[in-house]
Structure 1
Amino acid sequence: MGWMISSAGLFVVLVTLWDIFHTLWHPGGFGRLSQWVFQLVWRVTKHVVPSLTRQLAGPIGILGVVMLWTGLMVIGWTLVYLPHMPEGFYFGSALSPEQSSDALAALYLSLVTLATLGFGDVTPADPGLRLLTPFEALLGFVLLTAAISWILQVYPALGRRRSVAKRLSILRSGQATDVVAGGEPCVASRMLEAVTEGVIQVETDLLQYAESYYFLEEEEEMSLAATLPYALEMVDAGRASSSREVRHAAEMLAAAVESLAGRVDRAYLGTGCPTPEVLASYSSDHGFGRHA
């Protein structure tokens, strides 16, 4: 019976590590547990407390995922140690193992080891356990590093997305479609190419950091969900140009926007609609548009 409990604990640890790997280090991955947490936070902040949606959905999602990973790690290692309590460990003179339950002692050891505190008041006596406890401490360090690196990775991606949104907002306020449709071909094509590069970068970031979708901007001009539809207006203007170069640049932008919209729809919206409708749903889902 004891080996079954320990095996269940190791399984919980491995599932947690698998989720961490797919969320942070696998190209294009998003751990199933992490995805569930973000979806839950998204729905709660959107429908229960909508005033918090734009500001806190993403950060709360990251915090919730890290807490879930930590909790699963603690529970998993607690189950690993539990069948070996108390005979598999040495207890310090100040501790009386008979005065507390085995489960509480195993939980205490798991917490202290994962946090890399190393009090030394409970040490393993069994040779196998002597190998496991340092391994848990190493995983605790990995968990801390992963949480920090996650924040350092996702916020630059958000900055790039907001930069594209700001560019589109400025182009819209400057009536760039007039320049694209009838201005100098070299200027118009460069304008379209710059937006295309930004849209491609956003899709690449979304592929690598799928959780970035759940971060919202309060200002419309900084929200890609709110400004991306203007890219389609630039495409229409470019297609109406007499310049072949501009028309080609417009088709490239159309392909980039369609690709990004398709990825957003498949991963988050599930509408199955054409690109304009997907962009409208994307805008609405982020608190903008007529359905917000």
Structure 2
Amino acid sequence: MVVAIVGIALVGLTLRDVFHTLFHPGGHGGLASLICRAAWVVCIHLGQRARLLAGPSGVLLTVIAWLLLLIAGFALILVPLLPEGASYGSGSPQGSPFVDALYLSAVSASTLGLGDVVIQDPSWRWLAPFEGLLGFGVITAAITWLTQIYPALSRRRSLSLDVWTTLEDYGASPPVQPSSVVRSWATRLAAVSVDFVQNTETFWFRENDPRLSLGPALHRLDDVVATNPDIEENRQLQRSLKVLREIMRSQYGPHAASHLAGNRE
């Protein structure tokens, strides 16, 4: 019975992490954050090009971890019921209780429903369809997660490219920009700030093309503000830059902004 309680706790913690990562605005699951950070640490030790894989691999490993934990949790719930409480189909060999429970849990989570191992107790038969529903839900939610990540990255990249194409020829002394352009940058920076709050994993995505990188764009926008800090549009841009950096520090640590920015390009 203790094993089943551990399994219930594991399933509950997994679902909590999924909820906080995917459905809680501004929230993020501890497991997702931990895996993305670990993927980044590993990738930076593998070289510059490997850093480009940190974000995608962190997201992929998070989804895999959710599914494996869900399968393991339900397997622990099923262990006390096996083998006496299950019916094995013809040609289906009976293994150890944990191996059979793990197999049955994996089949249920993947919604395959092979039927070669079936729980006999009517009180526990609902576990298989319930796990199948949760497994399908996690996979569907993970796909939705991906559809949220890449639009956020697109907004960040388009802003960076726009800043680069406008200011590249001026170095650290850009001319005064039209008010409409500066206001547009401030508004788009606010959108990037919201993306970092709602899609924290996007921080770990890096760009191969420096023109698409947010770090150099932030430096150039600082230069725009410095040209004439008394203009209202520049003050608005300065506030947007400040908010973005505060969010990055609160989400990723005190050195997050410089970590993302890297060297000035």
Deviation at 1:267, TM superposition (A): 1.7
Q: Distance in 2 between matches of 1:144 and 1:282?
A: 30
> In the alignment, what sits opposite 1:42?
40
Structure 1 length as normaliser, TM-score? Answer: 0.86
Q: Runs of 5+ in structure 2 lacking a partner?
A: none
User: Matched residue of 2:87: which SS?
Assistant: strand
User: Matched residue of 1:87: which SS?
Assistant: coil
Corresponding letter in the other structure for 1:266: S
Whether 1:202 aligns to 2:192 is: yes
User: What pairs up with 1:92-241 in 2 under 5 angstroms?
Assistant: 92-97=89-94, 100-175=95-170, 177-180=174-177, 188-239=178-229
User: Matched residue of 1:119: which SS?
Assistant: coil
Query: In 1, are the aligned partners of 2:176 and 2:224 still within 8 Å (CA)?
Result: no
Corresponding letter in the other structure for 2:248: V
Q: Distance in 1 between matches of 2:98 and 2:84?
A: 13
Q: Distance in 2 between matches of 1:121 and 1:93?
A: 8
Deviation at 1:28, TM superposition (A): 0.6
Query: In 2, are the aligned partners of 1:41 and 1:60 still within 8 Å (CA)?
Result: yes
Whether 1:69 aligns to 2:69 is: no
What count of residue pairs does the alignment treat as equivalent? 263
> In the alignment, what sits opposite 2:26?
28
CA RMSD in angstroms comes to 1.6
Corresponding letter in the other structure for 2:60: L
> In the alignment, what sits opposite 2:17?
19
> In the alignment, what sits opposite 1:184?
none
Query: In 2, are the aligned partners of 1:280 and 1:289 still within 8 Å (CA)?
Result: no
Larger Rg: 1
Alpha-carbon spacing, 1:136–1:281, altered in 2? closer, same or farther (3 Å) = closer
Q: Distance in 2 between matches of 1:87 and 1:238?
A: 79
Deviation at 1:174, TM superposition (A): 4.8
User: Matched residue of 2:206: which SS?
Assistant: coil
Q: Distance in 1 between matches of 2:257 and 2:35?
A: 24
Corresponding letter in the other structure for 1:127: P
Q: Distance in 2 between matches of 1:96 and 1:178?
A: 77
Deviation at 1:26, TM superposition (A): 0.7
Q: Distance in 2 between matches of 1:156 and 1:86?
A: 48
User: Matched residue of 2:19: which SS?
Assistant: helix
Q: Distance in 1 between matches of 2:125 and 2:197?
A: 41
More helix by share: 1
Query: In 1, are the aligned partners of 2:32 and 2:62 still within 8 Å (CA)?
Result: yes
Q: Runs of 5+ in structure 1 lacking a partner?
A: 181-187, 241-246, 272-277
